[in-house]
Amino acid sequence: MRTVFHEQLDTLNENVADLCERTADMMRLATEALLYADLEASERVIDRRDDVDRLCAALEGDMFTLLARQAPVASDLRVVLSGMRNVADLQRMGALAAHVARITRRRHPEIAVPAEVCGYFAEMGRIAVQLALDTKSVVREGNPDIAARLNVDDEAMDKLHQRLFAVVMNPEWPHGTTAAVDVTLLSRYYERFADHAVEIAHKVIYRSTGARRD
Amino acid sequence: MRTVFHEQLDTLNENVADLCERTADMMRLATEALLYADLEASERVIDRRDDVDRLCAALEGDMFTLLARQAPVASDLRVVLSGMRNVADLQRMGALAAHVARITRRRHPEIAVPAEVCGYFAEMGRIAVQLALDTKSVVREGNPDIAARLNVDDEAMDKLHQRLFAVVMNPEWPHGTTAAVDVTLLSRYYERFADHAVEIAHKVIYRSTGARRD
């Protein structure tokens, strides 16, 4: 039998899943804006960060109320607390997508990244969005089968981040310091975004299977 | 009358304050290691990150137990939950100090940052350490009078971060791409470290005075 508590928990969980999708959309748009120097799209990403902040604050408030009124213990308590952590991760993901958009805006009408490395960012963007959407599925359906794909994508992201670092650090890098700095920061934003998504997914998977992250 | 719950809360709070001091020490050592290309000191900082991770995990477990056993409500619940957030911030602070140390290690025996900008990092290090120690005082003594100094230091850190960005982005920057990238990442690590410390302090101050952060 589902209690009122568990119904409320389902609603909160659904909101967390929605936020995963929202940050995935933000990162998709931020990446398009980056690759096409699209000022209007980057402004939209920056605006959406405020929405994410508001939604996260509201969700945290709901979780607080749930704890105060129902005083859950054991696994129920764990679910609410890890939900609170997830909200903090999602808020950072929104911030990181906005950071990408801000670099696009700063360099407009130029494209912030040299053509030579656009492929890296297209791929990092694709993986970041995929990770956030996979995390959404994990949150919504508690599907631990996605764990393997999450790990593959997470590693792929780390490798891209490292390779891009090597490209920028190459003494032959011909695009100057500004581009090097932009590329470095952007690469870090994507990598951190992925880390937060994976962090959420692994917490949910751990909770449902007891399997520790390797 | 102090209840058992409040005594336990005091103990947890004391542990949070200790962690503030620990991360302050890590950042002090990381900054010295950076400015003198001290490999041994940077290794020590990297090792200490594991200690911080362990302490944070233990502290989170204690907070969980407290919630499960005592089911606090209202302000007591708020204190425990914000304590959990503080632990997450402290864990990131430890990670960021270790990130600084890793750049030092990577460039050893060279100093990672050009002499021209060492002054910036000496100052950023000083402010980062001061912020973490002020945060410790706020956590331990709930002293809202420190709020003004925290804001001044936080703004000073932001200004240094921005100025350093301008220095690196100057077309006349003579130190090449590698140094530019290192300086950019380091600057961001210090700025994020400060953000996390200020975040903790402001949560504690808000809790004790109800005053919102401006």
Taking the CA of residue B108 and the nearest CA in chain A, the distance in Å comes to: 16
Separation between Cα atoms, residue B114 and residue B107, nearest integer Å = 12
Q: What is the pLDDT of residues A31-51, one digit of tens each?
A: 999 999 999 999 999 999 999
Contact of B73 with A70, CB cutoff 8 Å:
no
Mean per-residue pLDDT, B165-184: 94
Nearest chain A residue to B166 by CA distance is A178
Q: What is the pLDDT of residues B182-204, one digit of tens each?
A: 999 999 999 999 999 999 999 88
How far are the Cα atoms of B36, B100, B102, B156 from residue B109, in angstroms, in the given order? 9, 15, 13, 30
Q: What is the pLDDT of residues A149-181, one digit of tens each?
A: 999 999 999 999 999 999 999 999 999 999 999
Q: What is the pLDDT of residues B46-83, one digit of tens each?
A: 999 999 999 999 999 999 999 999 999 988 999 999 99
Contact of A30 with A100, CB cutoff 8 Å:
yes
Tell me if B177 and A177 make a contact (CB, 8 A cut-off).
yes
Q: What is the pLDDT of residue A130?
A: 98
Q: What is the pLDDT of residues B133-158, one digit of tens each?
A: 999 999 998 877 888 899 999 999 99
Find the radius of gyration of the CA atoms of chain B. Answer: 19
Q: What domains are defined for chain A?
A: 4-209 (1.20.58.220)
Q: Which of B187, B192, B149 is nearest to B168 (CA)?
A: B187
Q: What is the pLDDT of residue B142?
A: 81
Please, is A85 exposed, middle or buried when counting C-beta atoms within 10 Å of its C-beta (0-12, 13-18, 19+)?
A: middle
Residues from chain B that touch A180, judged by Cβ atoms under 8 A, are 177, 180-181
Q: What is the pLDDT of residue B214?
A: 47
Taking the CA of residue A191 and the nearest CA in chain B, the distance in Å comes to: 14
Question: Residue B114 carries which DSSP code?
Answer: -
Tell me if A77 and B68 make a contact (CB, 8 A cut-off).
yes
Q: What is the pLDDT of residue A142?
A: 81
Tokens of A14: 């659904």
B122, B126, B129, B132 alpha-carbon torsion, rounded to 10°: -130
Residues from chain A that touch B181, judged by Cβ atoms under 8 A, are 165, 168-169, 180-181, 184
Kindly tell me if the per-residue pLDDT of B209 is higher than 90.
no
